[in-house]
Amino acid sequence: MSRSPHSAPVRRAPLACATLVALSSLTFASGAIADDAADRVTTLDGLQVKGERAEGYSVRRTSAGTRFDLTAREIPQSVSIISHERIADQNLDDVIDVLQNTTGVSSTQSDSERTEFYARGFYIDSYQFDGLPTQMVQNWSYGDSGLDLALYDRVEIVRGATGLLSGAGNPSASVNLIRKHADSAELTGSVSLNVGEWGRNRTTVDVTTPLNASGTVRARAIGSYLETDAQMERYSQRKQLGYVVIDADLTPDTQLSVGYDYQHKRANGATWGGFPMVFSDGSSTDYPVSFNPSPDWTYWDTTSKRAFATLQHAFANGWKLKVGATHDKTDADDKLFYPAYNDWATGASNFDPVTGAGVSPSAGFYNTHRKVDGLDGYVDGPFQAFGREHQFMAGLSYNQREYANYGDYQVGGKDAAGNSLPWDPFDSYLGWTGDIAQPDWNPLPLQSAGTITQKAGYAATRLSLADPLKLIVGARYSEWESEGEGADRKHDAVTPYAGLVFDIDDTWSTYASYTEIFQPQVARDINDRYLDPVDGKSYEVGVKGAWFDNRLNASLAVFRIEQDNVAQTTSQPIPSRPGEFASVAARGTVSRGFEFELNGELAPGWNATFGASRYVAKDADGADINPRLPQSTIKAFTSYTPRSASELTLGGGVNWQNGIHYPVPAYGRFEQSSYALVNAFVRYRLAPQFSVQLNANNLLNKMYYAQVNGYGAYGEKRNGQLTFTYNF
């Protein structure tokens, strides 16, 4: 059965505001780059650079998207960096917070614990940890979207199809979480206390220490504990995090990292779905923001344990080898409640506005388990040909995901003959206070189980065709196999990739890229057979700029995605699978649009990010895909530290999205109008090692739906948080 009951002193000229016009207005800066770079040169004796660290809101170089160590404007795709400094300024807690503040990424909720992310109209299912690829899905919700950020230094998001490095996946985006490492040969660390609205209390401790006299072996430990209630009554959350990593310089050219992290979250009063949005006469239920459609015995617990190791070696000829391995185990335990109130086929509400009848209680008790083993290794380095230096990269990848989901689903109300089912129906859902006893649970039968294995080999080369012209060409061969779920499947595919970058001058470059799409799917046809994998093509062209030694980057991308075999749900039930509807494979699904981003350091002490995106995604019949997602978004944030008052930092930003809707045949559609969320922060350093920071969220107290799918949930109203940090 389906889990779900419904299918965030150098010379630098000032910059204009970050709009599309800004992309052209910044050209004047290119002439000053040489002078700027010369002013900033500092010689450090004996320093060995082990990896790229974020500076301000950006990084100078990254391997995101290609494995090659490149600047942002050398990568022929759209890339966003959410740096550690920006995470601290915006007080971002988890993956949800990061992606909600990322250019071109939108989110929607299924309930209080499941948040899904989309880019360019498609679901994001490709994730990486330190570049090691894996896939995450939310239908059984293992808590992936709520992963704590305390152990991550930054997050890199590559938008568009990323099949070269991730294999099977949607043409949306790939999210790479870069862990914090023991990068200090001296004892250092921090302690922070964050308090806020609804009894929020979060404590984080982060300590790095050498383990030998020379500092070639170092350890870092991070612990965090969060407890908070919420604006929704009867809801509370407790989160625990433990992380330890040991980094060792085995030789000056060989580094080994081994680590382990543990995360546990308990959400009491968790929702399944949300509150009913409409009465049977079509009028809105208009619940207050504090309304919780669940009783107090519901909960949703998730626990993840992840061990990892990375070995990298730099050869004398400029080549390097990197091998990474991971083993993670995730478990979820939840008891959930669902107020069923509508007709599945038409969406018509049975909820009587006068008597309150028509809402039937249903509940689920689930234990779910997932185990993932991953291994990825590659080599890359330079080679000479035709009088020029080029780069080559090749690797092997293995990923196996085993899962088993157990559950008992209880339904209340009356059957077709009018007889009461084992769990009594509601007399009225009006005046709901959560006062309902648990049903008599049955032993948990196995609902689904299986193993998904991906094996792949990939290679790419970066050819220097001319001084200003670089071509990246590569391909990935993938073997994808699924065992279990009643039908074993096996697919193999070759995913080609090509990207051409032309340097217009020292500031500007333009690019074009192409890749193909391969994505097996779980949708079934009327005969209970899986649909063929989605296949398609992704095209992207754009222009990029970089200033101030790559501290400030801008990009404008235009894209088009074409897909075939995309599943479209019909109203025809699958005879062999009660409660599930058949899908058909549609051809001609197209998404097209643009993305603009300006990110980095505008001037000394002034960091900013501005992103604007717009896409239109249509199915084969010309209907919008996922209309409950915003097609236009603007996300901006800035921070400023005055040179005359370096102890003070202040800033703020705004996230805007256009209106969305959810079609309901019985009433037309539910609508959420466009809205903007305004945030601000101020930080003051009371002493060299001690600072206090205030973050204010949703300053205008905008009331909006964070969930619109027949069931609803509100976004957070105005709230504030205060953070005290001590560094040593």
| pLDDT per residue as tens digits for the range 543-561 | 999 999 999 999 999 999 9
Q: How much is the pLDDT for 211?
A: 97
Highest mean pLDDT among 41-55, 153-167, 534-548: 534-548
Round the average pLDDT of the chain to a whole number and report it.
88
Q: Domain map of the chain by residue range?
A: 20-727
Query: In whole angstroms, what is the distance from residue 143 CA to residue 237 CA?
Result: 13
> Is the separation of the CB atoms in 126 and 175 below 8 Å?
yes
* pLDDT of 670 over the 90 cut: no
Query: In whole angstroms, what is the distance from residue 182 CA to residue 208 CA?
Result: 6
In three state form, how does the secondary structure of 309-338 look?
A: EEEEEECCCCCEEEEEEEEEEEEEEEEEEE
What's the order of all strands across the beta sheet hosting 115-119? 105-109, 115-119, 122-123
* Number of neighbours of residue 494 by Cβ within 10 angstroms: 11
* Closest alpha carbon to 542 in 521, 565, 513: 513
At 334-355, the pLDDT tens digits run 999 999 898 766 778 999 999 9
* Number of neighbours of residue 160 by Cβ within 10 angstroms: 28
Assign 689 a pLDDT band (cuts: 50, 70, 90): very high
At 232-252, the pLDDT tens digits run 999 999 999 999 999 999 999
Contacts of 44 (CB under 8 A, 6+ apart): none
In the chain, the percentage of residues whose pLDDT exceeds 70 is 89
Q: How much is the pLDDT for 54?
A: 56
Query: In whole angstroms, what is the distance from residue 706 CA to residue 340 CA?
Result: 20
Amino acid identity of 254?
T
Rounded average pLDDT over 528-549: 92
Identify the residue whose tokens are 């549609």: 586
Q: Which residues pair with 667 in a beta bridge?
A: none
Q: How much is the pLDDT for 168?
A: 78
Rounded average pLDDT over 377-406: 96
At 147-200, the pLDDT tens digits run 899 999 999 999 998 888 887 778 999 999 999 999 999 999 999 999 999 999
More confident residue, 238 or 48: 238
* pLDDT of 624 over the 90 cut: no
Assign 11 a pLDDT band (cuts: 50, 70, 90): very low
* Closest alpha carbon to 454 in 163, 177, 260, 140: 163
Rounded average pLDDT over 205-232: 97
Three-class SS of residue 422?
coil
CA 320 to chain CA mean position, Å? 29
Assign 575 a pLDDT band (cuts: 50, 70, 90): confident
Angle ∠(543,17,679) on CA atoms, nearest 5: 110
Fold exhibited by the domain 20-727? Maltoporin; Chain A (2.40.170)
* pLDDT of 437 over the 70 cut: yes
CA distances from 93 to 104, 180, 607 (A): 20, 15, 20
Q: How much is the pLDDT for 140?
A: 67
Q: How much is the pLDDT for 367?
A: 95
